[in-house]
């Protein structure tokens, strides 16, 4: 499944727990992501993004 602008996905936060983000824009293999329920935008590589909460949990080292 491809990551598309406007979709919701998950990343692992600093504490290793999944965080919900919205895809704002794409530049190459990197995406600008906006936190849901928080302020801030960040740039992440496609390899650091997950399509579901469960997928993020399963990849977590937490």
pLDDT digits (tens, 9 = 90+) for 17-62: 999 999 999 999 899 999 998 898 999 999 999 999 999 999 976 5
pLDDT at 36 (0 to 100): 92
Q: How far from 33 is each of 7, 16, 17, 61, 62, CA to CA, in Å?
A: 10, 17, 16, 22, 22
Cα–Cα distance for residue pair 62/42, rounded to 1 Å: 21
Strands 30-35 vs 41-45: parallel, antiparallel or unpaired: antiparallel
pLDDT at 1 (0 to 100): 75
pLDDT at 62 (0 to 100): 55
**Fold entry, domain 8-59:** SH3 type barrels. (2.30.30)
Greater confidence, 12 or 62? 12
pLDDT at 60 (0 to 100): 72
Q: What is the dihedral of CA 54, 58, 60, 62, to 10 degrees?
A: 100
Phi-psi group of 17: left, alpha or beta (phi > 0 → left; psi -120 to 50 → alpha; rest → beta): beta
pLDDT at 61 (0 to 100): 65
């Amino acid at each position: 499944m491809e990551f598309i602008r406007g979709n919701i996905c998950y990343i692992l936060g600093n504490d290793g727990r999944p965080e919900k983000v919205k895809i704002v824009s794409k530049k190459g293999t990197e995406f600008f992501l906006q936190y849901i329920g928080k302020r801030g935008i960040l740039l992440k590589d496609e390899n650091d993004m997950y399509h579901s909460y469960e997928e993020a949990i399963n990849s977590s080292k937490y």
